[in-house]
Amino acid sequence: MKKIIKELYPYVIIVVVVILVRTFIITPVIVSGSSMKPNFNDGELLLVRKIRYNEKTIKRFDVVVIKKDKEEIIKRVIGLPGEHISYKNNKLYVNDKLVQENYTHLNTKDFNLEEICTCSSIPEGKYLVLGDNRPISKDSRSIGLIDEKDIVGKSVFRLWPITKIGTV
């Protein structure tokens, strides 16, 4: 019996470490759908670094995984707490200042924050997120601002396909 325990011990430790890492540090996520095209395609495998609630490391243009209605969706953070966001003539304005976006060339219909919420700036603990494929994406324009507690983590590495492997 001791011999069996001694032989199994390293494997048990490995399993425990993998479970702990996946639960608290990093988890794999498969992209589903085309709302993040052309940057992220259906079936791609990403590693997502989990974010502890109130970690305050979410930045503009981070690609995040959000738990919404029992499914995980991938979107890009556009607006942070305290900011006013608007799109005019396919250009992003944060607090009425033009901000360059270099990851999408798809048209974004004009809108402003007041069309999403009854607020003049994004409330504390909330974020405005958009899909890169703006014409078809179900994002903050249709589902509202995202609660910080619903953000699972930030995409940090693409594992699949092999031709696109690397940091996000």
Q: Is residue 109 part of a domain?
A: yes
Q: Is residue 3 part of a domain?
A: no
- Among the listed residues 3, 67, 70, 75, the single catalytic one is 75
Of the pLDDT bands very low, low, confident and very high (cuts 50, 70, 90), residue 52 is low
Task: Copy the structure tokens of residue 112.
Answer: 């402003």
Q: Is the dihedral angle over the CA atoms 134, 139, 141, 142 positive or is it negative?
A: positive
The residue among 12 and 32 whose pLDDT is bigger is 32
Furthest CA-CA distance within the chain: 73
Q: Is residue 72 part of a domain?
A: yes
Could you confirm whether 75 is annotated as catalytic? yes
Task: Copy the structure tokens of residue 68.
Answer: 């919404």
Of the pLDDT bands very low, low, confident and very high (cuts 50, 70, 90), residue 54 is low
Q: What angle do CA 101, 103, 109 make, to 5 degrees?
A: 60
Q: Which of 41-55, 134-148, 149-163 has the lowest mean pLDDT?
A: 41-55
Q: Which of 83-92, 106-115, 151-160 has the lowest mean pLDDT?
A: 106-115
- Residue 9 is classified by DSSP as H
Q: Is residue 2 part of a domain?
A: no
How far is it, in rounded angstroms, from Cα 133 to Cα 110?
Answer: 15
**Residue-number span of the structural domain to which 85 is assigned:** 27-167
Q: Residue 55: its pLDDT value, please?
A: 56
How far is it, in rounded angstroms, from Cα 131 to Cα 134?
Answer: 6
Residues 6+ apart with CB under 8 A from 114: 120
Q: Is the pLDDT of residue 1 over 80?
A: no
The total number of structural domains that make up the chain: 1
* Phi, psi for 65 (deg, rounded to 5): -105, 130
Could you confirm whether 121 is annotated as catalytic? no
The pLDDT tens digits of the residues spanning 105-147 come to 778 888 888 888 888 899 999 999 999 998 888 988 888 899 9
Q: Is residue 125 part of a domain?
A: yes
Q: Is residue 79 part of a domain?
A: yes
Q: What is the mean pLDDT of residues 30-36?
A: 90
- Report the b/e string of 116-149 with b at 16+ CB within 10 A: beeeebbeeebbbbbbbbbeebebbbeeebbebe
Q: How far apart are the first and last CA of the chain?
A: 47
Q: Is residue 106 part of a domain?
A: yes
How far is it, in rounded angstroms, from Cα 11 to Cα 76?
Answer: 38
Task: Copy the structure tokens of residue 86.
Answer: 């608007």
CATH number at residue 114: 2.10.109.10
- Among the listed residues 35, 137, 140, 155, the single catalytic one is 35
